[in-house]
Structure 1
């Protein structure tokens, strides 16, 4: 288990399979997926667990993949639904979120990770914590040696209420200055498309989409993003989408709640200026 909403969502599905127990990811510091998988495998055998669930985050998927290898069992990753049975069934998004896959999981002990921000979390109690002993040296082969400070002002994309995201239309690495300015005024996180990370303008940690971070903000502001299928798959949880693009027929423009057609290099600074003007007016009145 990791702190945050994705783990609560995984617990919601896990409760369908019985009374859950929890193994905190932070039980082994620094993060060592092999050590956590070994501890989890021991707990599974001791508790005779009927199923194992985890949040479908980078860390959750990494630990569960290692657990599946240790137990020689199949892993169903990034599910949005699961139901007990013989066999158990799981539901996953396919084709960039345009299709739902219903699958049978032929396994004596289903191993499932839950796609973040796809399942409403219930308010059930915290499960009992599994104690983790000292990890074996052989399980510390892979571990975190360093942390790279986020470039989005410390606001996590996964938890952000507002995200201002830029795509290829921003034009350059330096062009993200206007995106960062607007995000700063709104207290928002900065995101980007895969094309931007591929160009080296932003780090992968800023990428929104199927191969980046799946987000669920109250407002997602997309600037110069066409809306490739894999990017749209990462926006399934967004409550409102505002798209700014010079192409009114861009896929994201057609799927947005609000659209502004025009040059983002003029529109985004104008929005920032209007926010400043409005705030100055409130201060002087």
Structure 2
């Protein structure tokens, strides 16, 4: 049995949770293992519909008034209760900050190893799983053997495309009251404040992302980049140095400490391509780099590159796009 911790947002099941369920379903097909989900809080009809599309026949819903605020240890208790009731031998979650934190607690409670940032399972048997995972900010891959009675896996963002099951299911909802102690609630979210910046959802779901780095030159150097973003119907993503300097909000940051993106095309302008940034954009289907340095890491890793000043190249591209669009 495989149990997947799923997360939701205002729209229902998150994209990364659908990815984790697809990953779990592919793993389960190797050993004819069923995939069930565990969720904290009452699922919406949209969430149940998404779970059904993923072929999940049963979702274990943890209900307790004390879970109204997020607490990693309490969520882990709910997951461990589900593992016990289902005799699951694999626990999976998306590699989000919340998913990774809960899995760390789960692995500790079960006294087993945890594999984080997993991109694929290379071999599977009744005794062990051999997984491949990202390390050094995604710059290298490491193989790890999981031979414990319960294998705990955090799936790297965009490790697979969220594909619907061949046969949709009608998801049964099973509610339960997790076994919680006061210690499980010591560290918890006590207040949530809305950010003044736009939500990162537009960035992580965009089919085209225009990237901007130090080459933008300053807070006033983004006009042409924003125009390009508008012309291609995409989203703006920036490097860590841009947010550190206060030129753009953190919600636009792409990288190890920002958002991980997987657009059809990533146009990286004036970005050197440090390991931390590459960890967030390496899943892009096509990368076009614009940079004055022909030896910059982003240029050498890109599928296509234009060597030159973005402040000369981007306006020229914008002019051509507007001409073709009749604007």
Q: Same fold (TM over 0.5)?
A: yes
In the TM superposition, 1:1-285 aligns within 5 A as 1-2=6-7, 3-15=13-25, 16-17=27-28, 18-24=33-39, 27=42, 29-82=68-121, 83-85=123-125, 86-124=127-165, 125=168, 128-129=172-173, 131=175, 133=177, 138=182, 139-140=184-185, 141-143=187-189, 145-149=191-195, 151-152=197-198, 155-281=201-327
Query: Which deviates further from its counterpart, 89-98 or 41-50?
Result: 89-98
- Of 110-119 and 270-279, deviating more is 270-279
Quickly say closer, same or farther: Cα 1:118–1:187, change in 2 above 3 A.
same
In 2, the alpha carbon distance for the partners of 1:100 and 1:51 equals: 22
Structure 2: gaps of 5 or more residues: 1-5, 8-12, 43-66
TM-score (norm 1): 0.85
Q: What TM-score do you get using the length of structure 2 for normalisation?
A: 0.75
Q: Which has the higher strand share?
A: 2
> 3-state SS of the aligned residue for 1:117?
coil
Structure 1 stretches of 4+ with a deviation exceeding 6 A read none
Matched residues in 1 for 2:282 and 2:200: separation? Answer: 23
Measure, in 1, the Cα distance between the counterparts of 2:197 and 2:326: 28
Give the structure 1 partner of residue 46 of structure 2.
none
Determine if contact 2:213/2:269 at 8 Å carries over to the other structure.
yes
Q: What is the Cα deviation at residue 176 of structure 1?
A: 2.9
- Aligned mates of 1:65, 1:232 — CA distance in 2: 25
Aligned length: 281
Give unpaired runs (5+ residues) of structure 1: none
User: Cα 1:181–1:219, aligned 2, differ >3 Å: closer, same or farther?
Assistant: same
Could you report, residue by residue, the CA deviation over 1:86-111 in whole angstroms, capped at 9, with x for unpaired residues?
22221112344443311112321011
8 Å CA contact retained: 1:173, 1:201: yes
